[in-house]
Amino acid sequence: MSKENIIELKGIQKCYDDFVAVKDFNLEVKKGEFVTFLGPSGCGKTTTLRMIAGFELPTEGQILLHGKDISNLPPNKRPINTVFQRYALFPHLNIFENIAFGLKMKYVDVTYKNSKGETIVRKEKLSKEQIREKVKRVLEIVDLEGFEKRDISTLSGGQQQRIAIARAIVNEPEILLLDEPLGALDSKMRKEMQIELKALHEKFGITFIYVTHDQEEALTMSDKVVVMADGMIQQIGTPEEIYNEPNTVFVADFIGESNIFSGKMTGKKKVCFCDAEFDCIDDLPAGSDVDVVVRPEDIEMVPSENGQIRGTVKNVNFKGIHYNITVQSGENEILLKSTKHVKVGEKLGLRIEPNGIHVIHAETDINTYEGVITAVDKVAFADGEFDCDITKLYPGSSISNNNLYDMDGNKINVIGNSVTVRVPISAPAMSDDIDAGGTKGHIASLIYKGDHYHYVVRTKSGENIHLRDKSLWNENDYVSVIIPKESIDLSLNAEEAQDV
Ligand code: ATP
C-alpha cells in the first residue's frame, strides 16, 4: 500500500499585483519524505514554502494537510516549522533558552479526573522539568549535548545551524520546512551539514521540505526533487530520474553538466546531431525537431576512424580524478569526461551508445504572440512595435499615402485589428543598442547547444522571445530585439478575418 500524502498542493497560484510568482503548482508529499524545491534565484521556491508555512496565502488553489484544506489557517495553527537561511537565533539568549523559547509559549492538553470522577481537559503550560527534558533530547539528536549554557556567539556556523534545527524540531512538527538552511556556510561545512541533515531526517521521521538553488545539494539529500523555473514546476522526480531522464532542456542544463544539441529524428529510433546519425532509445516521429542531451561521461573516445563523430581536442582540464575534454567537431563543441589524457590538437573519434542519448521534443521553434495592427506597416506585440508587411494579410492590397487599399482601390481600415504573429526562433537578433530593435527585455535564460546558444529574452510584461545566437551574452543583460520585417508572419484573428 502506498504511503499517505501528508501535504498536497493543488493548482496553487501566487500573484503580487500583476506579477505571477507561482503558477499551476501541483504537488503531493508523502509522510516522511525529503522533498527539495530546486531552481534558480527568483523561480518561486521561497514563495511556495511560505504558502505551506502560512506566511503567504495562495491567490488560487488549495493546500491540504492530511486531506483537509489548511489554505487559510494561520502559521501557528499548522503543525509545521521553518528553518531559515539566517538562523534567526536570539543572540542575547543562551542555547537552552533559544531552544526552550517556543516551548515556554506552548500549551498542552492535560487530562484530570474531578471529584465526581469526570474527565476534564485543561490547557496548561509545560513544566520546567518537561521543557528541560525536551531540550536535552533534541540537543542529543543534533549532537550538541551539554551545550545548554553556551552563548550563541561561541558557536561555529554549522553548530548554530544545528541549534536552529533543534529549535524547530523541539516543537515536534509534522513537517519541517528548510529555506536554504546551509546558504551561509562555507562549502566544506555545507557538505558536512548535508550529510548530517540527511541523517537527522532519517532519525526524526519528520517530513522535510527543503529549498535550494544548489543542484548537487538537491541530488545528494532528496527522495524527490521538484525542479522549478519561472514560478512553474519543470519536473518532479527522484534525483536519478531528473538526472538521467530530464524532460526539458532547462532541467538537463540545470542538473549536472550536459551537452545539448539541436537534432532531427531521421527514422525509427534514429536521430541526427553533430552531422552524424545515431541509434537512440527514444521513439519520436521521423522528421521531428529535437533537442538531444548527452552527459559528458557517456561519450567514449576512440581512434578517429572508429568515431561516429570526428573532431580535434580543443581544451583539456584536469579535475582530480578525470579530465574535462572539449572536442571541436565542425561547428559543434562537445564536452566529455575521461580518465585518459589526450593532447590539445589531437584528432580523435567519439562514440555514444544509444542509452547515453536522451532525446527531447524541441521546446519551441516558433515564437507566437497576440498582436494589434497599429499602422498600415506596423504591428504591436511582445511589448513593442515592429515594421511588418500588412499587405500580405489582404491579397492584392497596396499602400498609398499611409492608407491600405484593396485591389479595387477601396480603403481598408486595419488599425486596431488583432492578429496572431509568428516569428521563427532563427529570425530575431539581439542588440545592446537599446533603441535598435522593436522591443526590449532581459535575457532570462541561455542554453548552449553545441554550435549556438538558445536565448530567452523576457519583456517587461513577461512575453518570451526565443532566439539563437552564436555569441555568448550574459543572463540578465538588457537588450533590444530586432526582428526582420520579412520573417514576421501574420494571420488575422477570427473576427477580423470574417470582414476580409
Ligand atoms: P531565491 O533563491 O533568490 O530566494 P526564490 O526561487 O525563492 O528565489 P521567491 O523568493 O519565491 O524566489 O520569489 C519569486 C518571485 O516573486 C521573485 O521575482 C520575487 O521578486 C517575487 N516576490 C516575492 N515576494 C514578493 C512580494 N512580497 N512582493 C512582490 N514580489 C515578490
In order, the DSSP letters of 336-368 are EEESS---TT-EEEEEE-GGG-EEEE-S-SEEE
With contact defined as beta carbons under 8 Å apart, do 178 and 34 qualify? Answer: no
Rounded Cα distance, 395 and 242, in Å: 50
d(CA 45, ligand 1 centre) in Å: 8
Rounded Cα distance, 129 and 138, in Å: 15
Domain boundary among 244, 276, 308: 244
**Nearest protein CA to atom 17 of ligand 1, as residue:** 42
The answer to whether residues 392 and 350 belong to one domain is no
Choice from 12, 14, 15, 16 to test ligand 1 binding pocket (greatest atom count within 8 A of CB)? 16
Rounded Cα distance, 21 and 230, in Å: 7
Whether 74 is in a domain gets the answer yes
List of residues 6+ apart from 7 with CB closer than 8 A: 28, 29, 52, 63, 64, 65, 175, 207, 209
Rounded Cα distance, 420 and 342, in Å: 53
Choice from 19, 37, 47, 84 to test ligand 1 binding pocket (greatest atom count within 8 A of CB)? 47
Q: Which residues sit with their C-beta closer than 6 Å to ligand 1?
A: 16, 19, 21, 39, 41-47, 213
d(CA 57, ligand 1 centre) in Å: 14
Residue with cell 555514444: 352
Whether 348 is in a domain gets the answer yes
The answer to whether residues 305 and 379 belong to one domain is no
Whether 303 is in a domain gets the answer yes
For position 206, which CATH number holds? Answer: 3.40.50.300
The answer to whether residues 134 and 186 belong to one domain is yes
Q: Which amino acid is at 484?
A: P
DSSP state of 45: H
pLDDT recorded at residue 1: 44
pLDDT recorded at residue 64: 95
Dihedral angle over CA of 166, 170, 171, 173, nearest 10 = 60
Domains: count for the chain: 3
Locate the ligand 1 atom nearest the alpha carbon of residue 19 and give its number: 30
Q: Over the stretch 435-480, which tens digit does the pLDDT of each residue have?
A: 999 999 999 989 898 889 999 999 998 899 999 999 999 999 999 9
The answer to whether residues 349 and 382 belong to one domain is no
Neighbours of 145 (CB within 10 A): 12
**Nearest protein CA to atom 21 of ligand 1, as residue:** 21
pLDDT recorded at residue 203: 79
With contact defined as beta carbons under 8 Å apart, do 25 and 9 qualify? Answer: yes
The answer to whether residues 84 and 189 belong to one domain is yes
- Give φ, ψ of 42 to 5 degrees: 85, 5
The answer to whether residues 238 and 270 belong to one domain is no
Whether 252 is in a domain gets the answer no
The series of mean pLDDT values per 10 residues for the chain, 500 residues long, is 82 92 96 94 93 94 94 88 77 88 80 86 86 88 84 84 84 88 78 82 88 91 94 95 89 90 93 95 91 94 95 93 93 93 95 95 86 94 95 90 89 92 95 95 91 92 92 94 96 67
If phi > 0 it is left, if psi is from -120 to 50 it is alpha, else beta; for residue 344 that is: beta
d(CA 21, ligand 1 centre) in Å: 7
d(CA 383, ligand 1 centre) in Å: 23
The answer to whether residues 373 and 347 belong to one domain is no
The answer to whether residues 225 and 333 belong to one domain is no
pLDDT recorded at residue 223: 95
**Nearest protein CA to atom 10 of ligand 1, as residue:** 46
The answer to whether residues 13 and 113 belong to one domain is yes
What residues pair up with 456 in beta bridges, in sequence order?
445, 466
Dihedral angle over CA of 180, 185, 186, 191, nearest 10 = -60
Q: Which amino acid is at 154?
A: T
Locate the ligand 1 atom nearest the alpha carbon of residue 48 and give its number: 11
Domain that holds residue 275: 257-361
All three cell numbers of 192, joined, read 558536512
Spatial CA neighbour of 211 closest among 81, 48, 57, 23: 48
pLDDT recorded at residue 181: 84
Q: Which amino acid is at 260?
A: I
pLDDT recorded at residue 3: 67
Domain boundary among 209, 244, 279: 244
Domain boundary among 309, 336, 361: 361
Rounded Cα distance, 58 and 23, in Å: 10
Locate the ligand 1 atom nearest the alpha carbon of residue 50 and give its number: 11
**Nearest protein CA to atom 26 of ligand 1, as residue:** 16
d(CA 272, ligand 1 centre) in Å: 40
For position 264, which CATH number holds? Answer: 2.40.50.140
The answer to whether residues 445 and 429 belong to one domain is yes
Q: How many helices (H) and strands (E) does the chain have?
A: 9, 35
**Nearest protein CA to atom 3 of ligand 1, as residue:** 41
Whether 249 is in a domain gets the answer no
d(CA 48, ligand 1 centre) in Å: 10
Whether 251 is in a domain gets the answer no
Spatial CA neighbour of 274 closest among 438, 51, 451: 451
Residue with cell 531528473: 242
Terminal-residue alpha carbon distance, the chain? 62
Rounded Cα distance, 137 and 153, in Å: 22
If phi > 0 it is left, if psi is from -120 to 50 it is alpha, else beta; for residue 340 that is: beta
pLDDT recorded at residue 102: 80
Helix (H, G, I), strand (E, B) or coil at 173: coil
Q: Over the stretch 351-387, which tens digit does the pLDDT of each residue have?
A: 999 999 999 988 778 999 999 999 999 999 999 999 9
The CA–CA distances, whole Å, from 341 to 301, 304, 347, 456 equal 11, 16, 13, 37
Choice from 17, 22, 23, 45 to test ligand 1 binding pocket (greatest atom count within 8 A of CB)? 45
**Nearest protein CA to atom 31 of ligand 1, as residue:** 16
Locate the ligand 1 atom nearest the alpha carbon of residue 49 and give its number: 11
The answer to whether residues 421 and 491 belong to one domain is yes
Note the helical H segments in 258-311: none
Residue with cell 527514422: 267
d(CA 20, ligand 1 centre) in Å: 10
Spatial CA neighbour of 290 closest among 246, 260, 250, 320: 260
Neighbours of 147 (CB within 10 A): 19
**Nearest protein CA to atom 11 of ligand 1, as residue:** 44
The answer to whether residues 228 and 331 belong to one domain is no
d(CA 67, ligand 1 centre) in Å: 28
pLDDT recorded at residue 205: 83
